[in-house]
Each structure stands twice: as C-alpha cells, then as structure tokens.
Amino acid sequence: MTRDLRVFIVDDDPAVVQTLGVLLRANGYQVEGFTSPDEFLERSPDVGLACLLLDLRLGDRSGIEVQGELRRRGFTLPIVFLSGQGDVPSTARAMREGALDFLVKPVEEPELLETLTRARMRALTQLEEQQARRAATERLARLTRREREVCDLIVRGLLNKQIAFELGASENTVKVHRARVMHKLGVDSVAALVQLLSGYRPPPSSL
C-alpha cells in the first residue's frame, strides 16, 4: 500500500535513520532520512503532506532548536520527537511549541504507525488551511484600496449607512463598492465573506 504522507527522519545515529526508513518504507511511506539537521533544513521541506520524526539530541544542536528554526521559516509540518531519554522538561517544552507527540526509542512499530496516522490528519488540516489562506490572499488582491476598506468594515458588522459615515461617502457609493467586493471575492453573503477572511493572515512586513 502506498501512503501519501512523506516522512522526514532526522537523527544523528545512521542506524536509527536506516532502521526507521526500512520499517516505514515497508509500510508504504515515502521516506527521506538525514543524519544532519543542517542538511534537512537545506531541504526546505515544503512538499505537501509531510511530517518529521526528529531526534531530541543531535550532537551540538537540539531537536527543539530545529523545531524553532522551522517555525521561523514558516514550515508547519507535524513534528514527532524521538528520544532515548525520559527528558520531561524537554518533552513539555516541545509539546508547548506545537509538537504532535514524543516517542521514546526504541519505538514500537504499532505506536509509531498510529502516531503517523495522526500526523497525516494534522498535516492534511494544515495543508487545507494554507490553501484557504492562499486563496483568500489572491482574492483580496483583486480589490481596490477603497473596496478593501469597505470589505473590512463589512466584516466588522457595519451597515451601509455606518460604512458611508466612516468613509465620508454616500450610501449609494458604498452599495456599489459592496457589490463589487462580493463579486470579486466570489461570495454571496456576509457570513461567507467573514468565513473567507477568518483564515486570512496578512503577509509579513518587509520593514
């Protein structure tokens, strides 16, 4: 059975990378293994459905540092930490920072496969959210500056009369802008407009 989840393995022990790779490939997963976190970070793992099996201790770097670097770069793939030690403080920190799970090596096959099933569900949700944000950004780019102002006030729940007052425009002008906003964004109700913008995140400032 071929699975659509790509699994990245990052562990400074080549034997662990090889063993996990063989096990996961036998279960139909696409696998890429790395013994160096820097090599993995150079890979830029933006490949759709994917997750990361990440060793907690990687020589002179920690898995938590790699987790932080991925977050800074905007990668949101689910992370499952692996460790041969019961490091409770590190476990708590990793989970606070968004790790999916924390498994102790040697990992039992059923436990690992169950965790990867959950990782795929999270990765799918994240991918859908990213696609929704991208679609919202593309649609919003179609609006003029004034249409965007009207759009933002509609989402805030203001009526046409209130929007006209806020913008110093006539109510008829606001109605025209409102119709254009709904048409360009492909929505037919305020509720649909709010839903479209609910997942939108503005691009980071270049300043």
Contacts of 147 (CB under 8 A, 6+ apart): 177, 180, 181, 184
Check residue 60 and report its DSSP letter: T
pTM of the predicted model as reported, rounded to 2 decimal places: 0.71
Q: What is the tens place of the pLDDT at every residue in 107-134?
A: 899 999 999 999 999 999 888 888 888 8
The region of weakest confidence among 2-6, 34-38, 90-94, 127-131 is: 90-94
8 Å CB contact between 163 and 174: yes
Q: What's the chain's length in residues?
A: 207
Whether the pLDDT of residue 204 is over 90: the answer is no
Question: b/e string for 162-185 if b means 16 or more Cβ within 10 A?
Answer: ebbeeeebeeeebeebbebbbebb
Higher-pLDDT residue of 139 and 164 is 164
The span from the CA of 143 to the CA of 139, in Å, is 8
Q: Which residue matches tokens 């500056």?
A: 145
pLDDT-derived band at 207, boundaries 50, 70, 90: very low
Predicted confidence band at 203 (pLDDT cuts at 50, 70, 90)? very low
- Is it the case that residue 101 has pLDDT exceeding 90? no
CA dihedral 188, 193, 194, 195 (to 10 degrees): 80
CB within 8 Å of 60: residues ≥ 6 apart: none
Tens digits of residue pLDDT in 63-97: 888 988 888 888 888 999 988 765 656 666 677 76
Q: What is the pLDDT of residue 98?
A: 74
DSSP string, 117-168: HHHHHHHHHHHHHHHHHHHHHHHHTTS-HHHHHHHHHHHTT--HHHHHHHHT
Cis peptide before 110 (omega within 30 of 0): no
Asked if pLDDT for residue 55 goes beyond 80, the answer is yes
Percent of the chain whose predicted confidence (pLDDT) is above 70: 87
pLDDT of 160 higher than 80: yes
